[in-house]
Amino acid sequence: MEIVRSNRKMKKVDRRVLRIIGVFKLAKAALLIVVGVAALRLVHADIASVLEEWVPRIGFGPGSRYVGRALMEAAALTPSRIKDVGVGSLVYAALFLTEGIGLLMLKKWAEWVTIVITSSLVPVEIYEIVRHPNVVKVVVLVINLALVGYLIYQVRREEG
């Protein structure tokens, strides 16, 4: 079962993988939209007070040293920094939405855009891992490298 895309044939499994990647990109976009909107709503709020209110609601112990550290860091955030986080999150969400929709529609340009954008973020991810290593960052890096590798393979295979 194959479809024709830009005069090239694509296997059913390849379409499925591209769509899974597209859904992954859309999920990241949705998360960034939530973060961006929340940050912009908190620009002129006392974030430490907001967090103190939400900590028990989401099941964290208010006496935890991690919660205390997060509250201290939140209290140090300036409105300008919060706005930057909100706007930055929304810009990245727009990029991920573009990638995700393009991949769901099986567009060649979306494969290239995803390769370029995801590859361009790899050095930042490596820097963050070196600076503050943790398992989540390593897993995200591995997923992104696998994604780029697969897309490069897919593009090269279709060209040949």
How many residues are present in the chain?
160
- Residues 145, 152: Cα–Cα separation, whole Å: 10
Measured between alpha carbons, how far is 110 from 112 in angstroms, rounded to an integer? 5
What would the pLDDT profile of 17-40 be if each residue is shown by its tens digit? 999 999 999 999 999 999 999 999
Stretch 78-84: mean pLDDT: 91
Q: Is the pTM of this model over 0.85?
A: no
Instruction: List the structure tokens of 108.
Output: 């060649």
Q: Is 59 left (phi over 0), alpha (psi -120 to 50) or beta?
A: left
Residue 46 — left, alpha, or beta (φ > 0 → left; ψ -120 to 50 → alpha)?
beta
As a whole-number percent, the residues of the chain with pLDDT over 70 amount to 91
Mean pLDDT of the chain, nearest integer: 87
Q: What are the boundaries of each domain within the chain?
A: 2-159
What value does the mean pLDDT take over residues 133-143?
94
- Contact partners, residue 124, CB within 8 Å, separation at least 6: none
